[in-house]
Structure 1
Amino acid sequence: MFDFIRTHQRLMQLILLILVVPSFVFLGISGYSFVTADPALVEIGRAAVSRDEFVQAQRNQLQQMQESSQGRFDPALLDNPQARQALLDQLVDRKLQIAVATENHFSVSDGALRRAIAAMPQLQVDGQFSPDRYHEVLASYGLTPRDFEAGQRAELALDRVLGPVRDTAGLPAPVLDGLKRALTEERTIRLRVFKAEDHAKDVQVSDQDIQAWYDGHQDALRLPEQVSADYLVLDEAAALASVPAIEEAQLKDYYEQNKARYVVPARVSVSHILIKLPAGASDEVAKTALAKAEDIVARVRAEPSGFAELARKESQDAGTARDGGRLGWIQRGTLPLAMEQAVFALKQGEVSEPVKGPDGYHIFMADEVQPEQGESFEQARAKVEDEVRRQLAADRYADMATKLTSLVYDNPSSLEPAAKELGLQVRQAGGIARDRLLSADEAGPGAASASGDSAILGDVRVRQALFSAQVFTDKQNSGVIEISPDTMAVVRVREATPAHVPPLDQVRDHIRAQLTGERARAAAVAEGEKTLAELRAQPSAEGFGEPATVSRLDPAGLSKDVLDAAFAVEADKTLPAFGGVALAHAYAIVQVDKVQPGTTDAPALDGLGQQMARVWGGVEQQAVLAELRQQLGVKVTDEGRRLIEQGDGGSN
């Protein structure tokens, strides 16, 4: 059952949505007007979005994010006014659709329901709806067809509110054609860049400037609550270090068992001539065949270069005769013993005596001989030891992981017992906030962001553990945190530092660099804008780079800001024409030398109409929802505003 659920996760999510969200869609308007102590966040006519509904939706949202990211999703990304507003808007939009569907008695026929269910790929076998698969899916999740079909009917009915808007949206042909022309228009441009770094040497920043900036940017300088942590890391390196010395005999045994990995066995590229001997042949027939084979040997030895031609004429092995008797490369173990011994006794260019095989007499010629090649045990010893050590370390890692879990649980207030027992080192790092690792400038010496373990300490699960009640408040060890299949960590808080503004001396260099960068950029912008005005009055190619042809589809490596500036230049002016744009650390002047239409049937534009129709449909749906908000009188309550701004703790 669980394998089935894992294989059909998308369908399971759909089923959950159908069961959890719309199961009470058609209870009627009265279903939303009962009195409850749960405060309303948004009033929608006689309905409302309650606090409990929002909190549950928020939990579901977080759970889905955590599951899709395998626990690596940072909850802090949802803990902000923008995320809370977006979620509340989704709940309001759904309530609006429910209200419209209920008021207008929207319903779905049995035929439409059957067609919709039959079209679900997860319920099909070889492209056809399968009743057996249908019942298997529902049974695996504990559903009856009645429950599933009721939920699906409700979803289809809801889709009647906005579906017609979405499905009938289309971009007018003139608009689409204009869009294609704009995307493919080509401009030949040159750039002239004024860099801030070229002005930095001329910037003067006084102590008074630094103090004034410090006093005026307290909020920007404020560091969040942070912790310094003690932690243990169990990884491959730790497991390797715990492996004891390996005995020489063990290494030699491993070498012999895996010799093929270190040694290429001897092989011979060989050709042959076969004189067949029928099964049960008489002595007279055998003597005749042997005599013929011996005659061939004598002829070949007299003229070795004629072996291939003689094989074509005399060999009775039709499969190789036409190729001059070539068998190719032969390794030991591929031929009967007598034939193998004869072949591997030959030197390059030598011809064997007739060798009796299962099907007759063979005359072999060694075309090329390669002796055994590779490393002896002594030569491969270091490699062998490394491989053996890694295999032992893999077993050791599993054992250490089990012990680490037990030791951390048995000694919740210290990492030392686990470190001592497993031969690990208790490491320390600071500057770990709930949402990030502070930079070395912010955290000072020992910053986690500057350590070799920054990837481990920056993992969202590690930060969540450090700020959990067990670790942060109770000062206990965290549980074992699996960072990856071969790395796990345990953390504890050594010291907590509340949010604060660092002293001026700690951030003086940062402020100086900030002011220097700002003033250098301002100087670059001023120089660029002055030059741009001069160029518009008196065009000149001095200082510009090589020409490049760009379009909105093919920016040729230009940043969006520069590309926008290039296409903002009015094309109907006398060329060359000029435009400019201030960048993060520079000012760029764009000289437009040529403007020409592009190819509007470019493959990159395939499907643009459908894409824009979907976008257009989405915009129209939002317009309909906005109108419904007006008609139904959507009102955000004071409780709703507090929750959006402050989160779940905004009200109790």
Structure 2
Amino acid sequence: MFEFIRTHQRLMQLILLVLIVPSFGLIGISGYTTYVSGNHDLVKVDGSAVTMQDFDQARRNQLQQLQQANPSGFDPSSLDNPAARKALLDTLVDRRVLVETASQNHFSVSDAVLRQAIASIPQLQVNGQFSAERYNEVLKSIGATSKEFEQGRRAEMAIDRVLGPVAMTASVPKPVATSLEQALTDERVLSVHAYAATDYAKDVKVSDQDIKDWYEHNKQKLKLPEQVSAQYLLLNEAAAMQGLPAVSTDDLKKYYEQNKKRFVTPARVRLSHILVEVPVGATEAQRHTALGQAEKISKEVHADTSRFAEIARKQSQDAGTASKGGDLGWITKGSWPAKLEQAVFALKKGEVSGVVDGPGGYHIFLAEDVQPQQTETFEQARAKVESEVRRQLGADRFADMATKLTSLVYDNASSLQPAADALGMKIRTADGIARDRLLPAVEVGPAAASASPDASLLDDARVRRALFSSQVLTDKQNSGVIEISSDTMVVVRIAKLTPAQVPELGKVSELIRHRLVAERAQAAAEQAGQAALASYGKQAPAQAPTGFGATLTVSRIDAQGLDKQVLDAALAVPGKDLPQFKGVKTPQGYSVLYIQKAVPGKPNPSLQASLPVELAQAWGQAEEHAVLEALKAQAKIKLMPQAQKVLAGEADDQNG
């Protein structure tokens, strides 16, 4: 059983996501038929309730799913806020309403329909057929019995019958789809004169007094969150390789002899070919005709091999190589089927093969060049041999260091120095690590973690989470060994805790200067663009004035690289009002548009095929939501006092 899981890890992950998350992701296997009511009801729904136990279980499952999906980038604190807690509780309430509706209306699924639904799940099939053995393996891997799983699927399908027909019958009237297609394909012919803020930055002057005044009036905008300066030990391949002893020549030679096949360059041949195709499922007559054509070409080529490329360009039916004279490039021995290799590797340089029956049809090969198998001598391969030996030694040393590091940081919890001394490692430091991010170097200084070569490691959610754990933050101890990947581990501790604060003026003066320059350059670009726009007057000429770029034809599905603000402004102008000028503020500055004319959209077969489907799906989702809201309005939903504590994060996790 465990061997199956080990050898099918990606399959198991897919099964868990596809099968288990929709069915059991929030309320668990037993949640379909009953919710466990207790003394801590959060929301009353008709005669039942969403309880604290339900919420805690759903929250644990939610965390587990997100951690599995994002092993290095997920930060649990992102769910530790009122909005996330409310979204989860709302989901449970929605689910409870659907369960009650299905129960009250006696929605059910027959055994035959259930069996068919389970048998049609691709992850439970082998070669397209339902496999009882695979089914049992999956059930064991998730710790469920067949009865529990089938009850869950039956209930899931019954619940789907509440809103499923709503989405399935949703459709958008054809005139609506046609109007939307027209809006998406309508075009505007225009040119743009962009006034970029960066062009005005060099002329912006910012005085020390300007910086001081801005600082005094905007201190709260500069407030930095609570942050730590961290000490850390990084164990990776480079650390393991450092200080390895030199490898003797005898040991290198021994490794070379044991792995001599590794230093052999296989024979290879540079080929060109001419192909006469044989269609899939061809009759004997068709194959005979193709063979006759190939033999005719072969005679022509053998009569004058210098014409091979010319003949390939004219007669080869391999569209990918014919234009290049049939050039296939270098083919390494061992990469082609044996039958083909036997033919091509028997050729000498400049020789042409006979007709060879191969993939796609009949081939005629020309050996442009031939390189025989070559074995590097020890001296030729010495650098590679030494590198491989050292890497193996490094891997062994890494494993040894990892074991020792785990013990050393635990036995000396108040300092990283003993571990660093024992393992010959250097303690590194980094500043400006907040709970949710690395602070920019301009706010922190040159030792900022964000400017460190280890920035991506220090920004890993697991590292930040460890730094702000009670063990490290409050107890001032080393973290445990954090495994970032199979060959990268880190241990952290806090060197300094800096509470949230507004930095001194001297530390942020350059930051403020850059901000003021950007703001004033933006204003200057807008002013220049607006002045130019005013100078053009109300009557637009037949052609764009000097300074405008190339004429573009744009639509909502083909923006031609224009910013959204520019595109929206251009398409908002009615066609009857053109030509005209239009000014638009953009993130980069200001743009003046010369909108010449409107062009009705052309039929788009791809859009015509996909748009009705997408609109029906969107409309179905909207109708599902409306029906669910109506069901919730009819249900007697009552928010209990305990729910407010849960949403505020004040309630204890009573289920551990």
TM-score category, normalised to shorter length: 0.7 to 0.9
In structure 1, the residue matched to 2:30 is 23
What's the secondary structure of 1:607's corresponding residue? helix
Report whether the alignment pairs 1:74 with 2:67: no
Cα deviation for residue 622 of structure 1 reads 1.4
- Structure 1 residues 189-228: aligned runs within 5 Å: 189-207=190-208, 209-228=210-229
Residues 429-448 of structure 1 show CA distances to partners (whole Å, capped at 9, x for unaligned) of 11111111111122223111
Alpha-carbon distance change, 247 to 152 in structure 1, aligned in 2, over 3 angstroms: same
Distance in 1 between residues matched to 2:515 and 2:251, nearest whole Å? 62
2: CA distance between counterparts of 1:444 and 1:267? 56
**Corresponding residue for 2:551?**
547
Deviation at 1:67, TM superposition (A): 0.9
Give the Cα–Cα distance (whole angstroms) in 2 for the partners of residues 180 and 193 of structure 1.
30
8 Å contact kept, 1:43–1:49:
yes
Structure 2: stretches of 5+ with no match in the other structure: 270-332, 334-348, 350-368
The answer to whether structure 1 residue 513 and structure 2 residue 520 are counterparts is no
Partner Cα distance (2:265, 2:115) in 1: 65
Specify whether residues 217 and 617 from structure 1 end up closer, same or farther in structure 2 by C-alpha distance, changes over 3 A only.
Answer: farther
Is 375-384 or 594-603 further displaced after alignment?
375-384
Contact residue 642 and residue 650 of structure 1 kept, 8 A: no
**Aligned residue in 2 for 1:631:** 634
How far did 1:46 drift? 4.7
Q: Is the 8 A contact 1:643 1:651 kept in 2?
A: no
Does the C-alpha gap of structure 1 residues 134 and 381 become closer, same or farther in structure 2, counting only changes over 3 Å? closer
Q: How does 1:228-377 map to 2 (within 5 A)?
A: 228-255=229-256, 377=378
**Superposed displacement of residue 237, structure 1:** 1.2
CA distance in 1, matches of 2:107, 2:265: 76
- Aligned-residue offset at 1:222: 1.8
Q: Percent identity?
A: 53
Tell me, yes or no, if the aligned pair for 1:39 and 1:639 is still in contact at 8 Å: yes
With normalisation by structure 2, the TM-score equals: 0.75
CA distance in 2, matches of 1:212, 1:265: 73
Q: What is the match of residue 587 of structure 1?
A: 590
Of 224-233 and 69-78, deviating more is: 69-78
Q: CA deviation at 1:174?
A: 1.5
Asked whether the 8 Å contact 2:525–2:589 carries over to 1, the reply is: yes
Aligned to 1:2: 2
Q: Which amino acid aligns with 2:40?
A: D
Aligned-pair CA distance for 1:411: 2.1
Deviation at 1:595, TM superposition (A): 3.0
* CA displacement, residues 19-72 of structure 1 (integer Å, 9 cap, x when unaligned): 544634445xxx68x5x44262x4544544444433332221111010112353
For 1:38, the equivalent position in structure 2 comes to: 40
Between the aligned partners of 2:602 and 2:457, the Cα distance in structure 1 is 50
Counterpart code for 1:38: H
1:115 aligns to what? 116
Partner of 1:572: 576
CA RMSD of aligned residues (A): 3.6
Match of 1:597 in 2: 600
Partner secondary structure for residue 446 of structure 1: coil
Q: Determine which of 618, 621, 625 is the counterpart of 1:615.
A: 618
Distance 1:113 1:498, change over 3 A: same
Q: Name 1:474's counterpart in structure 2.
A: 475
Counterpart position of 1:124: 125
For 1:186 and 1:463, how far apart are their aligned partners in 2? 49
> What does 1:133-212 align with in structure 2 at a 5 Å threshold?
133-207=134-208, 209-212=210-213
CA distance in 2, matches of 1:155, 1:251: 63
CA distance change for structure 1 residues 642 and 139 in 2, over 3 Å: closer, same or farther?
Answer: closer
Determine helix, strand or coil for the equivalent of 1:572: helix
Measured in 1, the distance between the counterparts of 2:418 and 2:611 equals 63
TM-fit CA distance, 1:226: 1.1
Distance (whole Å) between structure 1 residues aligned to residue 192 and residue 532 of structure 2: 13
Deviation at residue 187 of structure 1 after TM alignment: 2.9
Alpha-carbon distance in 1 for matches of 2:499, 2:246: 48
Task: Name the residue aligned to 1:310.
Answer: none
Q: Deviations over 1:121-174 (max 9, x none)?
A: 233343333445444543554433332222222111211211111111122212
Tell whether 2:578 aligns with 1:560: no
Q: Tell me, yes or no, if the aligned pair for 1:171 and 1:612 is still in contact at 8 Å.
A: yes
Shift of 1:192: 1.1
What amino acid does structure 2 have at the position aligned with 1:385? E
The offset of 1:489, in angstroms, is 0.9
Compared with structure 1, are the counterparts of its residues 265 and 98 closer, same or farther at alpha carbon in structure 2 (3 Å cutoff)?
Answer: closer
Greater CA drift, 395-404 or 418-427? 395-404
Please list every run of 5 or more consecutive structure 1 residues that lacks an aligned counterpart in the other structure: 269-330, 332-347, 349-367
Q: TM-score, normalised by structure 1?
A: 0.75
SS of aligned partner of 1:537: coil
**Structure 1 residues 555 and 16: alpha-carbon distance in aligned structure 2, compared to 1, 3 A threshold:** closer
Letter in 1 for 2:622: V
| Distance (Å, rounded) in 2 between the aligned partners of 1:219 and 1:637 | 38
Are 2:490 and 1:486 equivalent residues in the alignment?
no
Q: Secondary structure at the match of 1:436?
A: coil
Partner of residue 442, structure 1? 443
Quote the residue 1:535 is aligned against.
536
- 1:582 Cα deviation from its structure 2 partner: 1.6
Q: Which range moves more in the overlay, 157-166 or 213-222?
A: 213-222
CA distance in 1, matches of 2:497, 2:413: 18
**1:86 is aligned to 2:90:** no
Contact 1:113 1:152 in 2 (8 A): yes
Deviation at 1:514, TM superposition (A): 1.6
Contact 1:225 1:499 in 2 (8 A): yes
> Does the residue aligned with 1:582 lie in a helix, a strand or coil?
strand
Q: Does the 8 Å CA contact 1:118/1:124 hold for their aligned counterparts?
A: yes
- CA positional deviation for 1:586: 0.9
Work out whether residues 242 and 393 of structure 1, in 8 Å CA contact, stay in contact via their aligned partners in 2. no
Which SS does the other structure have where 1:449 is aligned?
helix
Q: d(CA) in 2 for partners of 1:192 and 1:369?
A: 59
CA contact (8 A) 2:578 2:595 kept: no
Instruction: Please tell me whether the aligned partners of residues 41 and 49 of structure 2 are also in contact (alpha carbons under 8 angstroms).
Output: no
Partner of 1:281: none
- What is the deviation of 1:215? 4.0
Instruction: Tell me the distance in 2 between the aligned counterparts of 1:650 and 1:490.
Output: 30
Name 2:424's counterpart in structure 1.
423
Letter in 2 for 1:173: K
1:455: how far off? 1.3
The farther-off stretch of 488-497 and 42-51 is 42-51
2:409 and 2:130 map into 1 onto residues whose CA distance is 53
- Alpha-carbon contact 2:443-2:511 (below 8 Å) kept: no
- Aligned in 2, Cα 1:536/1:603: closer, same or farther, shift over 3 Å? farther
Offset at residue 454 of structure 1 (A):
0.8
Q: Is the CA contact (8 Å cut-off) linking 1:22 and 1:154 kept in structure 2? A: no
Measured after TM superposition, the shift of residue 105 of structure 1 is: 2.8
